[in-house]
Structure 1
Amino acid sequence: MGNTLKRHGLLKGAELASVSMSTVDRVLNARGGVSDLKRRKVLAVARALGIRPGLPETFSGPMIVDVLLADSATDHFKRLDTAFERQAQRLSAHVILRRQRWPESAPQQLLDALRKPRSRRHGMIVIAPDNPCVHQALNAIVQRGTPTVLLTSNLTNVQGAVYVGIDNHTAGRSAGRLMSQWVGQRPGAVLLVVNSLGYFAHQERAKGFIDVMAQHAPATPILGPVECFDNNELTQAAVTRALAGQPLAGVYDTGSGSPGIHAALAQAQATPLWIGHEASALHANLLRAGVMSLVLDQDPEGQVQAAIDYLLHQQGVIDAPPMLPLAMKIVIDENLPKQA
């Protein structure tokens, strides 16, 4: 009877995992010789069938995760760096976060890092632009069975990767809805500043904003989207040009050009409604001073935690996956932390 039950369990597990009975036997008895992808499938099916006692560990050593981030000095990336550093220290016995930076001016370095890892990796977390070469490289990685997390941008042409972040289209729509309510009684145009439309996140934010403004404030002209690449000088010049052409009722910046915007507004002594992204120290000061109107925050620290939790869950290390998509926070002067 025992052998019959065991054989039935192996047969059921093999059927659900789409592998042979011998593969199931090798995984459950930790005999090796099975790929990571098949190993994860068998362990997931075994847990689903309630076969927990004696189940082998997913790894004999630490999980190696490649983290590929754009080389940016913006507040958002500083927060990501700090969060990854904190998680690397916290999980050092179980996870190796192999962090690499790629210059946005040299996307080939990103492609090289995607296609030629320094050694075996069990997962990947990446911020990547929206272009066909990147799509191809990421799809190849996912198809080889490497769990992959996309931060900031949900690349819809990459099948099987998971996006960990806020709904950027909803973020843009939220900014448009709030802006449309405020600018109705103000003369002038609204300036839409973006980092780069090469990133799907900024495409989505800009589209959502424009759609809602057209619906709720159709008489308000929108200038842009103007790509400023998170460059303070370019952003300052764009705002200065907009102010010289006509009254400016509002500014929506989907990226990190706040120092440039602030400089241009201060020089012109202009006070348009201003919506930005990221709950940074700079933005807190600008909100308290009444210069900014509100900030939409995607919680980079929460993104990092959720990205790592997703990979740990995929590898069978933890039972519960993170709740996705992440919630967006709206920050105004009234809900900022109290100053000491």
Structure 2
Amino acid sequence: MPAPRKKSSARFIDIAALAQVSPATVNRVLNDRGSVSLATREKVVRAAQQLAVPRLMPEVHRGLTRIDVVLARSQTPFFQRMDLALQRFMQLLDRRIVVHRHSFAPGDDERTADFIRRPPHPRHGLLLAVHDTPVLRAAVQQVSQQGVPVVTLMSDISDVLRLHYAGIDNLHAGRTAGHFMGRLTAQTGRLLVLTNDLHFRAHRDRTAGFLDALQEKFPARSCLPITPCFDDPDQVFQAVDAALKQGALAGIYHSGAGSAGIHQALQRHGCLGQVVWIGHELSDEHRRWLKLGVMDLVIDQDPDGQVMSGMQHLLFENKWLDQNPPVGPNEFRLFCAENLPSQPYLPGSSLLPNK
């Protein structure tokens, strides 16, 4: 009489059939013997889990998973909060996932591109918030074609292969600003549009959306030429001051940072609270000015949510997550004086209004 088939052998055969590998490969993976590729190990372990095999499963990953985060260097509240979000997320990761943060001066495209192409260590993912220029597009396209998963953060990069864009729909954010600006201002008033560096696609899209919505819905509105101020409060002040010297303004839309310059110029000309003011990010200074009635609307893009989305896509691509994260742009949020959250934008910031 032939000996009965052992239960473990039957399990190995079932796992092998589901994973589409040989029973010998299942044996090597589940008993942690021999060299098996990461993709095969993952298939075998997932098949065993799906069949509810009653045993302790081996680790799928061997060695380190390295993710590079490349950001434009900035001291704006948005980038400070993004950095804090990265630090918080890193504390939740397995010790075998190593995140390297790198920052480069805005405009230093050649050095940034060189790092994107030639990292100092093996790289398993790339998270980027950089300019959208030909030099950087070429570098991102090259590493994407080499098989490195790339996620763009905050500001997308045009016409390149990428795994995911972790950011808001900036065109529709700009259109939202245009919609409210048109509703809140008089037909005959002049409007001033300020922005950061237009090499960021986010700011090109925001200002384009703003102007498109005004043209479609409020064609009588008069807009001054778009003024890039590079997140510099002094340049912002000069732009607003110069516009006010030429006559009254009905509204100001600013797609970037450096808003202290707007406040100072309006204060100098005695028109605080008389000019409709729409901006981006619920920084603590924006919160204060909303509360005081100086500012009317803020569009916030939630840097914490962007970091979470970008990292989840890179971890899924590297087999650390079982379920594919949501696709599509992140949602943006609208804040006015009546719906301000209770927590500050940055730790240690005061929530008390200052005149």
Q: TM-score range by the shorter chain?
A: 0.7 to 0.9
* Aligned ranges 1:71-220 → 2 under 5 Å: 71-91=73-93, 93-183=95-185, 185=186, 187-220=188-221
* Aligned ranges 1:230-249 → 2 under 5 Å: 230-249=231-250
CA distance in 1, matches of 2:155, 2:84: 20
* Aligned ranges 1:12-91 → 2 under 5 Å: 31-32=34-35, 34=37, 39-40=38-39, 43=42, 47=46, 57-91=59-93
CA distance in 1, matches of 2:27, 2:171: 46
CA distance in 1, matches of 2:40, 2:192: 50
Alpha-carbon contact 2:188-2:222 (below 8 Å) kept: no
How far did 1:161 drift?
3.0
Alpha-carbon contact 2:300-2:335 (below 8 Å) kept: yes
> Using a 3 Å threshold, how does the CA distance of structure 1 residues 88 and 9 change in structure 2: closer, same or farther?
closer
Aligned counterpart for 1:334 among listed residues 332, 338, 343: 338
Secondary structure of the corresponding residue to residue 90 of structure 1: coil
How far did 1:323 drift?
2.5
| Cross-structure match for 1:299 | 302
> Using a 3 Å threshold, how does the CA distance of structure 1 residues 5 and 323 change in structure 2: closer, same or farther?
closer
> Using a 3 Å threshold, how does the CA distance of structure 1 residues 115 and 52 change in structure 2: closer, same or farther?
farther
Structure 2: gaps (5+ residues): 1-8, 343-350
> Using a 3 Å threshold, how does the CA distance of structure 1 residues 51 and 332 change in structure 2: closer, same or farther?
same
How far did 1:317 drift?
1.1
Amino acid at match of 1:109: R
| Cross-structure match for 1:268 | 269
> Using a 3 Å threshold, how does the CA distance of structure 1 residues 67 and 51 change in structure 2: closer, same or farther?
farther
Alpha-carbon contact 1:188-1:246 (below 8 Å) kept: no
CA distance in 2, matches of 1:209, 1:41: 50
Identical aligned residues as a percent: 33
1:173-205 deviations in Å (ceiling 9; x for gaps):
11111111111x364211111101111111111
- Greater CA drift, 40-49 or 276-285: 40-49
Secondary structure of the corresponding residue to residue 171 of structure 2: helix
Structure (1/2) with the larger helix percentage: 1
> Using a 3 Å threshold, how does the CA distance of structure 1 residues 335 and 316 change in structure 2: closer, same or farther?
same
Secondary structure of the corresponding residue to residue 225 of structure 2: strand
How far did 1:43 drift?
4.0
> Using a 3 Å threshold, how does the CA distance of structure 1 residues 61 and 239 change in structure 2: closer, same or farther?
same
Alpha-carbon contact 1:194-1:229 (below 8 Å) kept: yes
CA distance in 2, matches of 1:44, 1:166: 34
User: What is the aligned-residue RMSD (CA, Å)?
Assistant: 2.9
> Using a 3 Å threshold, how does the CA distance of structure 1 residues 98 and 328 change in structure 2: closer, same or farther?
same
How far did 1:47 drift?
4.8
Amino acid at match of 1:329: R
Alpha-carbon contact 2:281-2:300 (below 8 Å) kept: yes
How far did 1:90 drift?
3.1
Secondary structure of the corresponding residue to residue 123 of structure 2: coil
Higher gyration radius (CA): 2
Amino acid at match of 2:282: A
CA distance in 2, matches of 1:156, 1:48: 39
| Cross-structure match for 2:260 | 259
Does residue 1:311 correspond to 2:327, yes or no?
no
| Cross-structure match for 1:16 | none
- Greater CA drift, 216-225 or 40-49: 40-49
> Using a 3 Å threshold, how does the CA distance of structure 1 residues 43 and 133 change in structure 2: closer, same or farther?
farther
CA distance in 2, matches of 1:275, 1:44: 51
| Cross-structure match for 1:283 | 286
> Using a 3 Å threshold, how does the CA distance of structure 1 residues 55 and 182 change in structure 2: closer, same or farther?
same
CA distance in 1, matches of 2:282, 2:77: 9
> Using a 3 Å threshold, how does the CA distance of structure 1 residues 132 and 243 change in structure 2: closer, same or farther?
same
How far did 1:330 drift?
0.3
Secondary structure of the corresponding residue to residue 201 of structure 1: helix
